[in-house]
Amino acid sequence: MEKKNTPDEVDLLDLLLKGLNAIRANFWLILSFFLLGIGLGLANYFTEQKVFENRMVISSTVLTKSYGKILIDKVNKYLGENNVDIITKDLKISRETLATVRLLKIELVTEADETKETDRYIIIAETYSQDRLADLQNGLVYYFENNEFAKARERQNKEYLRQVISKFDQEIKDLEEFKVRLFKGDFIQSIKGNVMFDPTSVNSKILELTKEKLNFQNSFAFANNVQIIEGFTPFEKPSKPQLSISLAAGSVSGLIFVAILLGLKSLHRLVKMADAAKQKV
C-alpha cells in the first residue's frame, strides 16, 4: 500500500524546494556577499588594534579575592572614564605605561584542595603593547600593598606572628633550663627519684618547638602584602583579534546582509503582485 505524505511533510518539502530554488537563482549574489564578508573580516583582523593577554601570579596573606576585585574594578572604571591622573597616582606608573593597558582582571588560583591556594591570585592584564610590562607589574604590586585595608591586615598578621614566635621562644627557653637541671641532677633530687621520666623526650620536644618556630618565622618574613610568584610574561601572538573569529563574523555578516536583501526583493515582488491584482479587479 502506497504511503501518503502528510500536509506538514508536503509543506516542508515545498519550503525546502523554494529555498533551494532561491539559492540557485541568486547563487552569484550570495557568493559575492559571502566573499565580501570574508574580505571585510580580513580587513578588520589586520586593521584592528592587537590585544595581548598577560598573566601574573601573586601571593598575599592579607588580600582577599573580594577586595582584590574591588581594587581591580576601581582601576577599570577609571580606565573607562579615561581618568589618567588618578590611575597613575594610585599605581605609581607613567602615562606611557597606562596607555598600553586595556583591561585588568583578577582570578583565584584553584586546585583540587582550594584551602591551600586561597592566598594566590592570577592578575590578567589585557595590553596593547608588551614593552612596559615590568612597570605595570611593579605598579600593581604597589597598588595592592598601599591601601588601608591591606596595611591594617598586614599589621594584625605581623603582630599575631610576633606573639606566637615570642611564646615559642619562652617555651624553648623553659625547656632548655629544664634540660640543664636534668643534667645537673637538680630535678631528680627535688623529686627524690619517685617519677619515671625519659630525659630524651625533652630534646625531642625542643626540636619540635624549634621547627614550629622556624615555620612561623618564615611566615613572618613573607608577611608583606604581596609576593610575586610569576611575573608578567610577554607573548609573540596577540589574544585578540582572532583570525578565525574575524572570518566567521565577516562571512556570517555577508550572508545576513544578502538574506535581508533577498527578503526585501521578495517583499517588493509581492507588493507589485498585489497592486497588479487590484488593477485587474
On the question of pLDDT at 4 being above 70, the answer is no
**pLDDT tens-digit series, residues 103-160:** 999 988 865 444 444 578 899 999 999 999 999 999 998 888 887 766 766 676 777 7
Residue 223 binned pLDDT confidence (cut-offs 50, 70, 90): low
Considering the chain, what is the average pLDDT of its residues?
Answer: 78
Which residue did the predictor score with more confidence, 63 or 138?
Answer: 138
On the question of pLDDT at 7 being above 70, the answer is no
Residue 189 binned pLDDT confidence (cut-offs 50, 70, 90): low
Highest mean pLDDT among 2-11, 151-160, 238-247: 238-247
Q: Report yes or no: 220 and 158 within 8 Å, Cβ to Cβ.
A: yes
pLDDT of residue 185: 62
114, three cell numbers: 582550594
Residue 188 binned pLDDT confidence (cut-offs 50, 70, 90): low
Q: Which of 35-39, 201-205, 216-220, 235-239 has the lowest mean pLDDT?
A: 216-220
- Please give the average per-residue pLDDT across 30-54, as a whole number: 81
Model pTM above 0.75: no
- Please give the average per-residue pLDDT across 223-246, as a whole number: 79
170, three cell numbers: 619562652
pLDDT of residue 115: 44
CA separation for the pair 136, 97 (Å, rounded)? 7
